[in-house]
Chain A
Amino acid sequence: MKPINRREFIFFCGQTSLFGFCCSTWLSACQAIAPVSKIASQAGIINSKKAQAIVRSSQAIAKTFEDITPEQEYYIGRTIGAMILSKHKPCNNASANRYINLLGRTLAIASDRPETFGGYHFLILDSNEINAFAAPGGFIFIARGLFKCCRHEDALAAVLSHEIGHIQGKHGLKAIENSRLTTALAILGTETAKAYGGAELSRLTDIFEESISDIFKTMVNKGYSRSQEQDADSASVAILKKVGYNPEGLVDMLKVMEKKLKPGGVDFVKTHPSPASRIDGVRDQIGKPSEIPMPDNRQNRFTKVLLSI
């Protein structure tokens, strides 16, 4: 049975004055499409085969963000990364960036989601903000200001693992309004993988921009939810333990951060729960406080980079 194509779908929506409704929230649209298709079919607006195709297509796109393939997540992440870099310059220190990639990749392979479409990539930002960002798909940015809240590699490992936790939990993708994905997927239908035509490409790029904006606003202005931050901290502790770092590194970093954060700032003070509440949130998982070992080589390589950025 031939699925309905995009033009037919849009035409149908226009005829039934439902396009705006279809684009509101996916759940309600999905629930509504089946009976409306039936009515439209009975009224002779579309034939029964097309009505069935609409129902089938609507079921296919009902899962919203979960339906974003790793490939699409990768392209979303690249653009979010470019947006972050329009606000913060990259730190052009090749050896420091190589170090952070060595550390980050080592941590990523210990996560629950070690493989993303394009892999994990890390970059230090030339910014004194106490900030870090995880763009979907594995692009992770850490500002110098946050790097300098770390007194040892175990603490820096905690910061990067927290960001990996956001990618593992797909927290960025969850910030996209469902209605955008519904609209995008309805326009695309299930058939197209060939080059898009001008109008389709233009509309799709509109939706892409809106989705990017949703993620960026959440990541940079609003912050993720408290439970997502808790998830990322919990993922961080799990990763640290698996690789052999002392998760007390997270606590140490948060204590330094607490002293440095300034009320009213636009960094972690705005987008994250307080360091003290984050420490409370992971204490049980970490266990009793313990001393952080600092083998010479580990501390030397960390300090060398810290002093070079």
Chain B
Amino acid sequence: MKMGSEPLKSVQVKNSYLRATPSFLGKIVAAVNYGDQVLVHSENSDWCKVSLPGKSTDGWIHSSALSNKKIVMKGGGAEVQKTASGEELALAGKGFNKQVEDQYKSRHKSMNFAPIDGMEKIIISPEDIKKFLKEGKLNPKGGLL
């Protein structure tokens, strides 16, 4: 899907950031969420320089956070029916989703998801990683810093 000559891609992860440099330790300039579309201005190795449509801020995001498909947050509309091939669209929440997980939990009441939820709550910031690298006398190569 294109707007002008710059391709549009969609954020395919729960949340991510646009950064000032092509590095996970680069300064964060904007937050993006699942389904957000970004305009791709250029690509450098695995990083894309992008901006949000209608906004002037641009920044870098890793290509693994992006999908070429447009991610539709709510399905069933005319747009979905028009492009039923699935080549251009992906539907958020389709298939194995929270509803299926809840159904699974109701069938397996002894299964404990609390430690999994706990794992997801451990927050590691880019600053934590920078400190960890420095303290361990680690000198990364190729775009980590």
Contact of B138 among A2, A59, A82, A244 (CB under 8 A): A244
Say yes or no: is B54 at the interface (Cβ < 8 Å to chain A).
no
Indicate if the CB atoms of A71 and B34 lie closer than 8 Å. yes
With contacts A71-B34, A109-B129, A242-B141 taken as known, whether A90 is within 8 angstroms of B115 at the C-beta atoms is yes
List chain A residues, Cβ under 8 A from B95. 68-69, 72, 184-185, 188, 204
Q: Is B96's CB under 8 angstroms from A106's CB? A: no
Tell me, yes or no, whether A97 is within 8 Å of chain B by CB.
yes
B112 at the interface (CB under 8 A from A): yes
Given contacts A69-B12, A193-B93, A295-B137, contact A82 B75 (CB under 8 A): no
Task: Pick from B1-9, B36-44, B117-125 the stretch touching chain A.
Answer: B117-125
Chain B contact residues, majority secondary structure: loop
Smallest CB-CB separation from A187: which chain B residue? Answer: B95
- In the complex, the answer to whether B140 meets A60 with C-beta atoms within 8 Å is no
Contact B64 A204 (CB under 8 A): no
Indicate the size class of the contact surface on chain B. 35 or more
Please classify how large the interface on chain A is, using the bins under 10, 10 to 19, 20 to 34, 35 or more: 35 or more
Mark contacts of B129-142 with chain A using CB atoms, 8 A cut-off: 1 yes-contact digit, 0 otherwise.
10011011111111
Question: Are A298 and B84 in contact, with the CB atoms below 8 A?
Answer: no
Q: Which of A75, A86, A98 contacts B100 (CB 8 A)?
A: A75
Q: Does A110 contact B (CB under 8 A)?
A: yes
B50 at the interface (CB under 8 A from A): no
Query: Does A3 lie within 8 Å of B84, measured CB to CB?
Result: yes
Name the distance in Å between A295's Cβ and chain B's nearest Cβ.
4
The answer, among B76, B85, B92, for a CB contact under 8 Å with A59, is: B85
By the criterion CB–CB under 8 Å, are B120 and A82 in contact? no
Q: Is B110 an interface residue (CB 8 A)?
A: yes
Query: With A and B bound together, what is the CA distance between A196 and B122 in angstroms?
Result: 32
Q: Which A residues lie within 8 Å of B76 (CB)?
A: 191-194
- Assembled-state Cα–Cα distance A13/B124 (Å): 50
- A241 sits at the interface (CB 8 A): yes
B140 engages A69 (CB within 8 Å): no
Across the interface, do B84 and A53 meet the contact criterion of CB distance under 8 Å?
yes
Tell me the chain A residues, 101-131 only, with Cβ under 8 Å from chain B: 101-103, 105-106, 109-110, 112-119, 121-123
A276 touches B (CB below 8 Å): no
In the bound assembly, the distance between CA atoms of A118 and B13 in angstroms comes to 7
Residues of the A chain whose Cβ atoms lie less than 8 Å from the Cβ of B116: 78, 81-82, 85, 139
Knowing A115-B13, A118-B14 are in contact, say whether A208-B136 is a contact too (CB < 8 A): no
Whether the pair A106, B133 counts as a contact (CB closer than 8 A) is yes
CB-nearest residue of chain B relative to A71? Answer: B92
A135 to chain B, nearest CB (A): 9
| In the assembled complex, B81 has its CB within 8 A of some CB on chain A | yes
Q: Are B140 and A115 in contact (CB under 8 A)?
A: no
Provide the bound-state CA to CA distance between A201 and B111, in Å: 19
10 A–B contacts, CB within 8 A, in A order:
A69-B12, A71-B34, A83-B111, A85-B112, A109-B144, A114-B64, A117-B12, A184-B96, A204-B95, A243-B144
